Amino acid sequence: MSAVLALDYAGVAVFAATGALAASRKQLDIVGFVFLAAVTGIGGGTFRDLVLDQPVFWVLNPAYVLVCAAVALIVYGTAHLMESRYRVLLWLDCIGLAAFAAMGAAKGLAASGSATIAIITGMLTATFGGVLRDLLAGEPSVLLRPEIYLSAAMAGAAAYTLADAGGLPQLLSLAAAFAIAFIIRGGALLFGWKLPRYKPRAGRDVGSGK
Amino acid sequence: MSAVLALDYAGVAVFAATGALAASRKQLDIVGFVFLAAVTGIGGGTFRDLVLDQPVFWVLNPAYVLVCAAVALIVYGTAHLMESRYRVLLWLDCIGLAAFAAMGAAKGLAASGSATIAIITGMLTATFGGVLRDLLAGEPSVLLRPEIYLSAAMAGAAAYTLADAGGLPQLLSLAAAFAIAFIIRGGALLFGWKLPRYKPRAGRDVGSGK
Amino acid sequence: MSAVLALDYAGVAVFAATGALAASRKQLDIVGFVFLAAVTGIGGGTFRDLVLDQPVFWVLNPAYVLVCAAVALIVYGTAHLMESRYRVLLWLDCIGLAAFAAMGAAKGLAASGSATIAIITGMLTATFGGVLRDLLAGEPSVLLRPEIYLSAAMAGAAAYTLADAGGLPQLLSLAAAFAIAFIIRGGALLFGWKLPRYKPRAGRDVGSGK
């Protein structure tokens, strides 16, 4: 059980770091760092818990919020040392995506017993914090980036439900889900992996219409 | 009861189609189509259920999500056949708005017994999925369009509460609400109907201030 | 208890007025005024209640929504008389921020018993309505403004928890929290108070990276 908790805290911490990095790009003050770190770190899990009608995890255990605040302070002190803050943000987001796809699927499956729900809560948990971060920071949503993103979360969450259905112990199922989501999203970051994107008819006037 | 369910599925399906059309305008990949379709199709009803402290409808019945996924695949395969995807999006959004104004008012009235709450949940259910779609796709919100939009949802939801108070059977109340919202929003699309918009003083420097 | 209720209604009313002022800046119609006023007035408290697993306050008591509608009508009729609508919006937002930081901390502390949670719910209640207003109106988020904003909400919420821990009567704790948040945010508006903002290394290429 402590490995599960460690994965959960790790996901919160790395997403919080991406929120703090977004705050640094917007040149917010220290309270802005903490706020954006907290919203990003706990936003996805908050939405998951609301939808599943579970108590919100950080209301049960406020230590998650203190982790976000601590991470924000560390990033405030160290962001200037990074070569490319946006690149670091994308890799931390990748780790958080993989951790939350696994945890979100596990919580969704435990609460509902439905694989469909588990895959959705995995995707929601993995992406909603980053969506909030981008909305609040006024940046283009990471969802609209050309390389694979949502698909990695979906594959990780699906892997968890398959592993669980196959009778694997939870720890192995979580590890498999994390590994698959991380490898897919990491490969997308390293090699630009993408699925075919929708292409309108040749010669079409994209985005026109009334 | 099955007519009520049909109206609910129809609302989810047409809103899902608008989400998929927005995905096609942003040239997302197939998983992006499914995600944006699902968020748009079930977002309004999710928020309604959370606010009313009801179990979230698609957690009880994941078939709603599968409908969204199926619609996304169909749109992925057919969007290139459409003359103007944005025009189609607006008309499907009109059907979904009318269906969800009716269903949202019905659920709100059943859960709270208050006509005020019913009108609000009708408006929220009818508009929140489209708001999420536009936020995630980075498009200007449909709420800010010049012609009538919110008013159609309000009129439909109000019609439901009036019809219910007048003792009509639920099916007739839903049909009346749907028809009124559809006619008002459809007329706004066809003929540019609008309410008077707020006009600042002549010669005023709009949007200035510190 | 009636002083507490008065503070709550006052917070809802002034935030509703900021939503209506945003609607006037976007030249929406009268239903758009009411909608944006309601979302801004009750959005922060709605999110607070969902997270704390409490019944949503305006579902229990729809009068809050009617207050928002009345405020929207008043602003619709009087906004043209204002010298600078955005300046008025910022000052009303300041009053609402102070009222909701106090009320949000009080509700969070009562529901959870945790000072950390109370400070977070104070900040969420105070800021989330304004965040929704800016997202829906397509305006830059007030969170990104250079002068102190979040810090005022945090200081007010923290003051409430300290005063409560010190054994003060609730009314005095609320008044202290309101006063501290109002003075800090008001000073920021009057004198441009700001915390040091994050500054990247000299010569750094801000916002680059892949």
Q: C143 in the Ramachandran plot: left (φ > 0), alpha (ψ -120 to 50) or beta?
A: alpha
Of the pLDDT bands very low, low, confident and very high (cuts 50, 70, 90), residue B202 is: very low
Nearest to A181 by CA among A99, A77, A73: A99
Instruction: Give the 3-state secondary structure of residue C30.
Output: helix
Sole residue written with tokens 């998929």: B20
| pLDDT at residue B197, rounded to an integer | 82
Are C51 and A50 inside 8 Å of each other by CB?
yes
Ordered per-residue pLDDT tens for chain C, 210 residues: 577 888 899 999 999 999 999 999 899 999 999 999 999 999 999 999 999 999 999 999 999 999 999 999 999 999 888 878 888 989 999 999 999 999 999 999 999 999 999 999 999 999 999 999 999 998 888 888 888 999 999 999 999 999 999 999 999 999 999 999 999 999 999 999 999 888 765 444 444 443
Nearest CB partner across the interface for C116, out of A31, A50, A65: A65
Are C210 and A87 inside 8 Å of each other by CB?
yes
Say whether residue B47 is in contact with chain A using an 8 A CB cutoff: no
| pLDDT at residue A55, rounded to an integer | 94
CB-CB contact of B157 with B123 (8 Å): yes
What b/e sequence results for A129-148 when a residue is b if at least 16 CB atoms lie within 10 Å of its CB, and e otherwise?
Answer: bbbbbbbbbeeebbbbeebb
| pLDDT at residue A180, rounded to an integer | 98
| pLDDT at residue B11, rounded to an integer | 94
**For residue B196, is pLDDT > 80?**
yes
Residue C80: its chain B contacts at CB < 8 A? 200-201, 204
Nearest CB partner across the interface for A31, out of C112, C151, C200: C151
CB-CB contact of C191 with C25 (8 Å): no
Nearest to C82 by CA among C29, C141, C25: C25
Are B24 and A140 inside 8 Å of each other by CB?
no
| pLDDT at residue A201, rounded to an integer | 56
Mind listing the pLDDT tens digit for each residue in A56-110?
A: 999 999 999 999 999 999 999 998 888 788 888 899 999 999 999 999 999 999 9
Distance from the Cα of C190 to chain B's closest Cα (Å) equals: 11
Of the pLDDT bands very low, low, confident and very high (cuts 50, 70, 90), residue B210 is: very low
The average confidence (pLDDT) of chain B is: 90
| pLDDT at residue A142, rounded to an integer | 86
Using CB atoms, which chains have 3+ pairs under 8 A with B?
A: A, C
| pLDDT at residue B2, rounded to an integer | 75
For residue B131, the chain C residue with the least C-alpha distance is: C136
**Lowest mean pLDDT across A121-130, A145-154, A198-207, C106-115:** A198-207
Nearest to B129 by CA among B87, B91, B100, B86: B100
Mean pLDDT, residues A36-51: 96
Mean pLDDT, residues B179-191: 96
Cα–Cα distance between B46 and B137 in angstroms, integer?
Answer: 19
Mean pLDDT, residues A26-30: 91
Q: Which residues pair with C29 in a beta bridge?
A: B197
pTM, entire model: 0.91
Best interface-test mutation with B: which of C40, C51, C136, C142 has the largest number of B CBs within 10 A? C136
Say whether residue A113 is in contact with chain B using an 8 A CB cutoff: no
Cα–Cα distance between A187 and A209 in angstroms, integer?
Answer: 37
Cα–Cα distance between A192 and A187 in angstroms, integer?
Answer: 7
Residue B19 CA: distances (Å) to CA of B41, B129, B134, C9: 7, 9, 9, 37
**For residue B199, is pLDDT > 60?**
yes
Instruction: Give the 3-state secondary structure of residue A201.
Output: coil
- The DSSP-derived string for chain B is -HHHHHHHHHHHHHHHHHHHHHHHHTT-BHHHHHHHHHHHHHHHHHHHHHHTT---HHHH-THHHHHHHHHHHHHHHHGGG-S-HHHHHHHHHHHHHHHHHHHHHHHHHHHH--HHHHHHHHHHHHHHHHHHHHHHHT---GGGSSS-SHHHHHHHHHHHHHHHHTT--HHHHHHHHHHHHHHHHHHHHHH---PPBP-PPTT--TT---
Best interface-test mutation with B: which of A198, A201, A206 has the largest number of B CBs within 10 A? A198
**For residue B201, is pLDDT > 60?**
no
**For residue B200, is pLDDT > 70?**
no
Greater confidence, B119 or B205?
B119
What b/e sequence results for A156-188 when a residue is b if at least 16 CB atoms lie within 10 Å of its CB, and e otherwise?
Answer: bbbbbbebbeeeeebeebbbbbbebbbebbbeb
| pLDDT at residue C145, rounded to an integer | 84
Mind listing the pLDDT tens digit for each residue in B138-151?
A: 888 888 888 899 99
Say whether residue B64 is in contact with chain A using an 8 A CB cutoff: no
Mean pLDDT, residues A9-32: 94
Residue C23: its chain B contacts at CB < 8 A? 198
Cα–Cα distance between C116 and C130 in angstroms, integer?
Answer: 22
| pLDDT at residue A152, rounded to an integer | 96
| pLDDT at residue C201, rounded to an integer | 55
The kind and range of the H/E element at A100 are helix A85-112
- Rounded to 5 degrees, φ, ψ at A29 are -90, 180
**For residue B29, is pLDDT > 50?**
yes
Residue type present at position A92:
L
Greater confidence, B201 or B92?
B92
Residue type present at position A188:
A
Mean pLDDT, residues A106-117: 95
| pLDDT at residue A111, rounded to an integer | 94
Say whether residue B200 is in contact with chain C using an 8 A CB cutoff: yes
Sole residue written with tokens 């109000």: B158
| pLDDT at residue B206, rounded to an integer | 46
Sole residue written with tokens 């990095």: A21
Nearest to B185 by CA among B113, B91, B107: B91
Cα–Cα distance between B92 and A156 in angstroms, integer?
Answer: 33
Greater confidence, C61 or A145?
C61
Are C114 and A50 inside 8 Å of each other by CB?
no
Distance between alpha carbon C7 and the CA centroid of its chain, in Å? 13
Nearest CB partner across the interface for B35, out of A150, A206, A209: A150
Mind listing the pLDDT tens digit for each residue in B44-99?
A: 999 999 999 999 999 999 999 999 999 999 999 998 888 788 889 899 999 999 99
What b/e sequence results for B113-128 when a residue is b if at least 16 CB atoms lie within 10 Å of its CB, and e otherwise?
Answer: ebbbbbbbbbbbbbbb
Say whether residue C47 is in contact with chain B using an 8 A CB cutoff: no
- ipTM, interface predicted TM-score of the complex: 0.88
